A and B are shown apart, each in its own frame.
Chain A
Amino acid sequence: MYKIDADFVEAVSHSDEFNANACMHCGNCTASCPMGLELLPRKLFRYVVVGLEKMVVENAETIYSCLLCKMCEESCPADVHIAGNVKKLRNYINTKYYKL
């Protein structure tokens, strides 16, 4: 059972740089990803939106493996800024966990 972290939701999900609420879980992004990233962005962004910080941090490797190539964005029907969201998550992890 994972704890829902309201501060995390506030810091990431409610920030201007993060837009994932429109995601409709169609899976186009996953299908078109050259990296074959299974988790990004569908499940990962859902973890963020509902505040499962621990799940996000456990998936740091996936977050830093994204090429930021935006191939996924070309086929996203909801106009989710996937690469920008990934960068926002990196920024959060860098600050809180890597103390950069």
Chain B
Amino acid sequence: MALPTGKVIGIMADNLRKRKNVIPLSAKKSTAWAEGLNLPRGGETVIYTGLLYQLMPGITGLAAKMASYENSFMRHLMGMGRLANKFINVAAFMGGAKPAVYKEYNRILRNIACLLQKSGVEFGYLYEQELYTGALLHDNGVEHLVKKQARRIWDVLQANGVKEVITTDPHTTNMLRSVFPEVIEGYDLKVRSYLEVLAEVAPEATNPLNKELVIHDSCMYARYEDVIDEPRQVLAKAGAKVVEPDYAGKLTWCCGGPVESLFPSKSKKVAEERVSQLAENGRQITAMCPICVFSLREAAEKRDDGTEIHDIIDHLSEAYCLDK
């Protein structure tokens, strides 16, 4: 039996309205990844994480809970959950994760920033002023709140004199590059994903990978943002041989992740199908979105045949000796 759609979206909407995020996150957790990197505060060009990697421990914890509620009596309690959530942060009780999980996602962001620095790119960071873009609510059609969030973010960017952002995932790229211009008049931010930047400026790898990697394109990058060649160029510089599955580039197959919070079982079925398609071409798979990595990895682990899913930055870290 499906989860109550309106109630689940309602909790996310209330959080964005009240707590500026779909799952509230402390400033400390949002910015921990940048500790010790000495990134300047603000500047004309900034890295913009949109908090998606930082939210992943909470999102995945919540997804696991939702999956267990999907076919249990607990789904009937979602209405009460929404009511309680107006006063206390219910997600904090539902979606906690172990410190190691936070560390793992922080490491990914650190490595993205380090590789950009190593490639000679200069950029700052907005630290605790950075906000989640509202992508989940945009997908679910809660447009009035997305507009508000876009306005908040645009105000922060303008107040800091930001002209260009380098994004770290496809969903944040799409929101900042394609969605916000439609809802804010005069919005003229230059937005590039770190993969687009690296395709232009990354040096040759210090430790070429010399291995085959099966590529999984994100729907958001491939079909919404036309980011298809760049990850391939970056992987080629890293010394990898990119293997194309049957469904690749513009015709990539979704990982199932977008409906994970509402329909966990349906989401898992799509992920399993996708991993089967990818694994036909090799066991080492590279993906470029935290949601894809999570969904596909879960499905790959069930196969128990050595199929491994990694974030593209993990492969790049190996090629450029990062991973600090």
Query: How many chain A residues touch B (Cβ–Cβ < 8 Å)?
Result: 26
Q: Which of A65, A73, A91 has the most CB of B within 10 A?
A: A65
Interface string of A81-100 (1 = CB under 8 A from B): 00000011111111001111
A90 to chain B, nearest CB (A): 3
**A66: chain B residues within 8 A (beta carbon):** 259
**B252: chain A residues within 8 A (beta carbon):** 71
Q: Which of A35, A69, A71 has the most CB of B within 10 A?
A: A69
Is A31 located at the chain interface by the 8 A CB criterion?
Answer: no
A to B contact number (C-beta, < 8 Å):
78
Looking at chain B, what size class is its interface with the partner chain?
Answer: 20 to 34
Say yes or no: A94 contacts B259, CB within 8 Å.
no
Contact A100 to B10, CB < 8 A, known contacts A61-B2, A74-B251, A94-B141: yes
Say yes or no: B9 contacts A100, CB within 8 Å.
yes
Which DSSP category, helix, strand, loop or mixed, fits chain B's interface? helix
Say yes or no: A64 contacts B259, CB within 8 Å.
yes
A9 to B97, CA, bound (A): 45
Is B158 located at the chain interface by the 8 A CB criterion?
Answer: no
Q: List 12 A-B contacts (CB under 8 A).
A: A34-B254, A61-B5, A61-B263, A65-B259, A65-B263, A67-B219, A67-B256, A74-B251, A87-B138, A92-B141, A98-B5, A100-B10
- Seen from chain A, the residues whose Cβ lies within 8 Å of a Cβ on chain B are 34-35, 60-61, 64-71, 73-74, 87-94, 97-100
